[in-house]
Structure 1
């Protein structure tokens, strides 16, 4: 019987070792994405999301579930992730067999956005994987889980985007299938900063539009 490991118990060093993932230097969004100017409506909606989050933060720590409700859900709707042919799933279980190791890593993804056009593509194209934490936890603590879950998609597609967030800070990660799989952290974005919040929505919109290349 293989040894069963939970993804939320792994360190970043464990992930590097078990999955043979290599970390590259910090990347730039514009190397991979086309960031479009936001409309006045989008900027006003973004401001409401920021204000809602800060109103709740004044009362103390915001739970993981409330982070999803206050920030992730409205941001993804505004970015277009609720539109056809994208389908969102939550708390999906995932298991990864570790090559050359008598181990199996299991866990549950918080949010997964896939391309699910009519007629269905098998397997579906993973657009974005999101790992959320409560507001008191640093986003870097979600990286081992996030990388582990997303690694599975590289068996079927050349690259995928990840996002770890605590509602205030947003860490995007770009994974790429190569001879040795690699990942790049992108610049950390903050909902608290006007420029960071705008870039956050621009990035989400651009990632959402990647689905058009898979139809």
Structure 2
């Protein structure tokens, strides 16, 4: 039996997310990629402050476009969705919709948040890299289209 260490969140970013950001031109102008950004969210009804570190954020002209949350391999995507949404709520431009992406290295899911009036979010179907027909190309296609829309 061969034993492997758990694949860390940083390794997921390195192996899965960095190539995706490269292939979709998010590392090129007019985009700006920021990693490990500290975010603080205050809950209005309570005096609770949630602090965390946003894994990766893609900006254009100080407008948050894409928030990416990665988790250790083996963890469910459900562990990252609330965290990604908390970061997305901290968007300084709540009048603009924001896209999120959560991954554990083998699965990815998109999150869209619209905050006008009442915040609402929607989730895509999960994409899996473990299927016979690897869905990484679908994720790449979505990110590439999003990148192109934001530069037009």
- TM-score, with structure 1 as normaliser: 0.64
- Tell me which moved more, 142-151 or 153-162: 153-162
Cα 1:207/1:154, change in 2 over 3 Å: farther
Instruction: Name the structure with the higher helix share.
Output: 1
Larger Rg belongs to: 1
What is the number of equivalent residue pairs in this alignment? 149
1:113–1:127 CA contact under 8 A, matched in 2:
yes
TM-score w.r.t. the length of structure 2 is 0.89
- Work out whether residues 154 and 176 of structure 1, in 8 Å CA contact, stay in contact via their aligned partners in 2: no
Q: Which residue of 2 aligns with 1:94?
A: 39
Q: 1:59 to 1:114 in 2, by over 3 A?
A: same
Structure 2 residue 9 is the aligned partner of structure 1 residue 78: no
Hey, which bits of structure 1, 4+ residues long, moved more than 6 A? Answer: none
Which has the larger displacement, 189-198 or 125-134? 189-198
| Mapped partners of 1:160, 1:98: distance in 2 | 19
Higher relative contact order (CA 8 A, sep 6+): 1
| Distance (Å, rounded) in 1 between the aligned partners of 2:81 and 2:98 | 14
**Structure 2 counterpart of 1:196, from 120, 124, 135:** 135
Contact 2:94 2:114 in 1 (8 A): no
Please point out which of 95, 100, 111 is paired with 1:162: 100
User: Which ranges of structure 1 fall in alignment gaps of 5 or more residues?
Assistant: 1-57, 117-123
